[in-house]
Amino acid sequence: MTQELLTERRGRVLYLTIHRPQRRNALTAGVMVALRNAIAQASDDRQVRAIVLTGSGERAFCAGADLQTGQSFVFDHSEPCQPAADLFRTARRAQVPLIARVNGACMAGGMGLLAMCDMAVAAPHAVFGLPEVKVGVFPAQVLSVLQNLIPRRALNELSLTGEPVSAARALEMGLVNHVAEDLDAKLDWLLGRLLDKSPAAIRRGLYTLKHVEGLPFESSMAFTESQIALFALTDDAREGQLAFRERREPRWPDERAAQASWPAEGCSYRSRNP
């Protein structure tokens, strides 16, 4: 993609690493476009079962926009869509789970990357914040992916004060799923709990979860009534229920078809962080 975004397939998992450690993995338009393209391609690849997003080193997951360029808030106003917004839209449409591996500071636009992911694990030294008000702007686009993730009072405090919070507080408010001293062991644990489940159920399940989020109750019920019937028609549903009756582990059809092309190595992140 770009030297500033490292991509690596390990078995069924695609790892995306923002590689700008000298700038605390701050975002540029090129990095955001590369992330968008990588997520879109992975979502269309039935052999990819999860995407892990992280940053190089241990100091920062992503520090937000690179203010040193002087171009962070310079836009081409003839373009109706901006790179960050397109990235968040693409993540919203993704049909494979995105997991944020928060290895350090997660600030400003980095909070948008975190919020667009479906799950997140964080190191204890990670800090989280929306400091945009300190430089005269506001986390406007980030609000679209963050507002349904944490309580409104917490969102107001982060946005209006610009002050950071600890990993423990982020866990408390629901920004991350887990905080662990051994970040990679926890990531591997979470991937292990994900990768043995039905690929079809997860793909359509993510679509269902994202679709119902903004619907009122009756609209949500009408939509999910139709979805459960479609879930039941899949090959995975037939295999899963047969395996339950036969008291064995399921052999998912997508997995059997893909196994011949998987690399022999596992999917552990350990010892591979750039």
Per CATH, the number for 199-251 is: 1.10.12.10
* DSSP letter, residue 80: S
Domain boundaries, the chain: 5-194, 199-251
57: which 2 tokens? 């080193």
DSSP secondary structure letters along 134-168: GGT---HHHHHHHTTTS-HHHHHHHHHH---EEHH
Contacts of 34 (CB under 8 A, 6+ apart): 1, 2, 4, 5
Note the pTM of the prediction, 2 decimals: 0.88
Provide the pLDDT for residue 269: 43
Provide the pLDDT for residue 169: 97
Quote the CA–CA distance of 46 and 254 in Å, as a whole number: 8
DSSP SS3 for 32: helix
What are the φ/ψ torsions at residue 125 (nearest 5 degrees)? -85, 0
Provide the pLDDT for residue 7: 96
What are the φ/ψ torsions at residue 130 (nearest 5 degrees)? -125, 80
Quote the CA–CA distance of 159 and 155 in Å, as a whole number: 6
Q: What is the pLDDT along the chain (274 residues), one digit of tens a residue?
A: 469 999 999 999 999 999 999 999 999 989 999 999 999 999 999 999 999 999 999 999 999 987 776 555 666 666 666 889 999 999 999 999 999 999 999 999 999 999 999 999 999 999 999 999 999 999 999 999 999 999 999 999 999 999 999 999 999 999 999 999 999 999 999 999 999 999 999 999 999 999 999 899 999 999 999 999 999 999 999 999 999 999 999 999 877 555 545 444 444 444 344 3
Provide the pLDDT for residue 254: 73
Provide the pLDDT for residue 257: 56
Per CATH, the number for 5-194 is: 3.90.226.10
Provide the pLDDT for residue 259: 52
Quote the CA–CA distance of 130 and 160 in Å, as a whole number: 8
Quote the CA–CA distance of 145 and 39 in Å, as a whole number: 16
Provide the pLDDT for residue 270: 46
